[in-house]
Amino acid sequence: MFTGLVSDVGEVVFVEERGALRRMRIACSYPAPSIAMGASIACAGVCLTAVGMGVAGNKTWFDVDVGAETLSLTTLAHWQAGRKINLERSLRLGDELGGHIVTGHVDGIAALISREDFDGMSKFTLKVPQKLKKFIAQKGSVALDGTSLTVNSVDDDEFSVLLIPHTLAVTSWGATQVGDKINLEVDMMARYAARLAEAK
């Protein structure tokens, strides 16, 4: 489980094809001894398992294996060396829940259709797949590329979020541009509420 509070911005070092599997190496600022084999790390909102780790120069790195299902449902199919990604370590018992409960299980891909910068802040408007729009509610929570954000406005299959200067500075969002694809995880409570409504 995660909170959607990004704790580091990592960089994809390489992507290696292994049939239907892809091995990816990600450089980060986490201390190498703190990454255990099998640890869960949210990479741009996708929960991935560390299958190797080490140090190169002054940077820690960890390896992850990405399967066909994840490649088909997320932006990871398009990742290449040099890409900057939001990282978050898994939640530990007793940690502060400052964002909202995030599972790292991406529901779909949103498209960034506009960006408006003002007073150091940025308003992003995104378009979501039709099947996911029912889960997006004004003042509700969403996880976008692993960042816990509050929905400002909703218009059918489009919604907006506002990012403050701090968030733009400590995540990958500062470099995000119109046309970029974003991993979207809807709020867990919204998902269950919709399922209960369908059951009735």
Q: Model confidence over 32-57: pLDDT tens digits? A: 999 999 999 999 999 999 999 999 98
Residue of 166 and 99 predicted with greater confidence: 166
Calpha distance 112→181 (Å, rounded): 6
* 198 confidence band (pLDDT: 50, 70, 90): confident
- What domains appear along the chain, each with residue ranges and CATH number? 8-89 (2.40.30.20), 108-199 (2.40.30.20)
Alpha carbons within 13 angstroms on the beta-carbon side of residue 12 total 21
What would the mean pLDDT of 148-152 be, rounded to a whole number? 97
CB count within 10 Å of CB 116 equals: 11
Nearest Cα to Cα of residue 158 among 114, 102, 105, 107 = 114
Calpha distance 147→106 (Å, rounded): 12
- Please, what is the average pLDDT of the chain? 93
The pTM assigned to this predicted structure is 0.92
Spacing of C-alpha 50 from chain mean position: 16
